[in-house]
């Protein structure tokens, strides 16, 4: 029962956190404080993995909660399992773990590289030669919806 | 309903083989390309549409699963090792395309793209060939799977060169044409070997009725016409750069349909037929709506992706170095 219990809570409270965050962000936006709310930005950073954790929790809930059925009330898992040799299963599981681990490392490497470049590269005013007076990309002023739309259009 | 679903599975299979065939083929061709600028250019020509092309594989899996669950449940465990290998190769290759495209120069990612393409092609060929073998749990793949694996890889290579000749310019176009002729002739020879050798497997061709014989011979003649057209227009002197891919597509589709004509309705040896692998009729009708809505959509964006990028790449060395990162 433990996986179902904790999986469901991870999903449910994760969803509440995300709804709350979006709701609070909307309030900040209407009060034109979203761009300058430093604490909220820090909070958003910590919120990054919540979506994935909620997905995983929901998935664990669904899969473990349904056992011993694979299709509830119609087909048992023991009757639906593939007729595979142990070596084939081992090959695919180990292969997936290995490949995803390598891809994760490559992905982190790429993300770190991109973060080092920073968001300025894709800014409309960006010039590759360093300007005399460097401007921060996010200058703390909230901008009108039209400007945000125009910037999003550029990207 | 059975015939509709069979046609749908076949459509997905052929669309996949032709579309992803050319981009896997371009990947294999990068392994034979010494000039790093050309390698990168080849990669960029397929970076635009490869993911769209691979959606046909997803649709193939879904329509086989939905329409012929018994065939899905028999074929997938039987071909588990090559199909898993194919999946690994497609994962690596997909990441490699984007990495090499976003952050050039990336020689290691480009190499991974080429090797991933080659392994995926070989694995697909082996999986197709394993359909002609006796279905046993944990049984290894036989010589026929090895033959089809090489044939599919060489066939994809020909498609890849045809696509490169169409999309590239200058020396790359010239070389793609010349290599493409060799690959096309080799692929035609290997395809004939596969058709000839299939009699010695567990899935011999059934040419028992005049209709089947006529269909089989007619489609093969059609394939020959397509391949001759491809070879003729692959010559670097020929300016009709779109035709080699058309000719090869005709060849591939005609050969596949000829095999289907000679095997229908048997899906897997010895006696799994379309009729006894089919889903209950209610399921089929329900899923026909879902899959049926997706097919036009995928057809549309497959067309649109190629239409939007219908031009020819003309890259000069200077332009290559100045290309911004993350250009799409």
Chain A, nearest residue to B84 by Cα: A92
Chain B residue numbers touching A96 (CB-CB < 8 A): 88
Residue A33 included in any domain: yes
Residue A113 included in any domain: no
Tokens of B59: 């649709």
- A124 to chain B nearest CA, in Å? 14
Model confidence over B95-111: pLDDT tens digits?
998 888 877 778 888 89
Residue A11: per-residue pLDDT? 93
For the residues A45-58, what does the mean pLDDT come to? 94
CB contact under 8 A, A91 and B84: yes
CB contact under 8 A, A110 and B137: no
d(CA A127, CA A135): 11
Model confidence over B18-70: pLDDT tens digits?
999 999 999 999 999 888 888 888 888 888 888 888 999 999 998 888 888 88
- Domain membership of residue A60 as a residue range: 2-81+118-154
Residue A61 included in any domain: yes
Chain B residue numbers touching A92 (CB-CB < 8 A): 80, 84
Say whether A140 sits in a helix, a strand or coil.
coil
Say whether B268 sits in a helix, a strand or coil.
strand
Residue matched to tokens 């469901």: A8
Please report which helix (H) or strand (E) contains residue B267, including its range: strand B266-268
Q: Calculate ∠ Cα B259-B76-A94, nearest 5°.
A: 135
Q: Which CATH number fits domain B2-310: 1.10.533, 1.10.10, 1.20.1630, 1.20.1080?
A: 1.20.1630
Query: Complex ipTM, two decimals?
Result: 0.72
Contact B133, B201 (CB under 8 A): yes
How is chain B split into domains, by residue range?
A: 2-310
Residue A30 included in any domain: yes
Say whether A83 sits in a helix, a strand or coil.
coil
Say whether B266 sits in a helix, a strand or coil.
strand
CB contact under 8 A, B88 and A95: yes
CB contact under 8 A, B103 and A82: no
Chain B residue numbers touching A110 (CB-CB < 8 A): 99, 102-103
Residues 83-112 of A with CB under 8 A from B: 83-85, 87-88, 91-92, 95-96, 99, 103, 106-107, 110
Q: Mean pLDDT lowest for which of A66-75, B94-103, B281-290, B310-319?
A: B310-319
For the residues B201-216, what does the mean pLDDT come to? 83
- B248 to chain A nearest CA, in Å? 34
- B81 to chain A nearest CA, in Å? 6
């Amino acid at each position: 029962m433990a996986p179902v219990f904790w999986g469901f809570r991870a999903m449910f409270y994760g969803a509440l956190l995300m709804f709350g965050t979006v709701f609070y962000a909307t309030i900040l936006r209407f009060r034109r404080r979203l761009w300058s709310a430093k604490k909220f930005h820090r909070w958003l950073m910590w919120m990054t993995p919540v979506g994935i954790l909620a997905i995983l929790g929901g998935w664990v809930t669904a899969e473990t909660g349904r056992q011993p059925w694979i299709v509830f009330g119609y087909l048992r898992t023991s009757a639906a399992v593939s007729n595979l040799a142990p070596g084939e299963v081992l090959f695919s599981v180990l292969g997936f773990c290995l490949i995803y681990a390598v891809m994760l490392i490559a992905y982190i490497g790429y993300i770190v590289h991109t973060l080092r470049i920073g968001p300025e590269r894709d800014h409309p005013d960006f010039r590759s030669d360093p300007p005399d007076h460097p401007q921060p990309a996010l200058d703390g002023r909230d901008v009108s919806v039209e400007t945000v739309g125009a910037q999003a259009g550029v990207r | 309903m059975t015939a509709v679903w069979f046609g749908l599975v076949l459509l997905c299979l052929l669309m996949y083989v032709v579309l992803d065939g050319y981009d896997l083929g371009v990947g294999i061709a990068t392994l034979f390309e010494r000039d790093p600028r050309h390698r990168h250019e080849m990669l960029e020509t397929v970076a635009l549409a490869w993911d769209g092309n691979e959606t046909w594989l997803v649709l193939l899996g879904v329509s086989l699963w939905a329409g012929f669950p018994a065939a899905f449940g028999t074929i997938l465990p039987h071909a588990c090792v090559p199909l898993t290998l194919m999946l690994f190769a497609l994962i690596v290759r997909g990441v490699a395309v984007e990495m090499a495209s976003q952050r050039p120069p990336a020689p290691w990612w480009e190499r991974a793209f080429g090797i991933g393409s080659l392994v995926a092609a070989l694995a697909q060929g082996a999986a197709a060939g394993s359909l002609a073998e006796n279905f046993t749990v944990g049984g290894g793949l036989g010589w026929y799977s090895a033959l089809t694996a090489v044939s599919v890889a060489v066939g994809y290579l020909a498609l890849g060169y045809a696509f490169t000749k169409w999309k590239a310019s200058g020396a790359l176009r010239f070389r793609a044409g010349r290599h493409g002729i060799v690959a096309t002739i080799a692929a035609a020879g290997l395809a004939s070997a596969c058709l000839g050798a299939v009699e010695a497997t567990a899935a011999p061709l059934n040419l028992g009725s005049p209709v089947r014989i006529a269909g089989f011979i007619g489609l093969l003649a059609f394939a020959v016409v397509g391949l001759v057209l491809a070879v003729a227009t692959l010559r670097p002197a020929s300016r009709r750069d779109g035709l080699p891919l058309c000719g090869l597509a005709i060849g591939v589709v005609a050969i596949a349909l000829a095999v289907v004509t000679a095997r229908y309705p048997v899906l897997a040896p010895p006696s799994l037929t379309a009729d006894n692998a089919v889903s209950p009729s209610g399921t089929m009708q329900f899923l026909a709506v879902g899959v049926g809505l997706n097919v036009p959509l995928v057809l549309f964006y497959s067309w649109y992706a190629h239409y939007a990028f219908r031009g020819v790449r003309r890259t000069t060395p200077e332009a290559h170095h100045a290309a911004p990162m993350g250009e799409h």
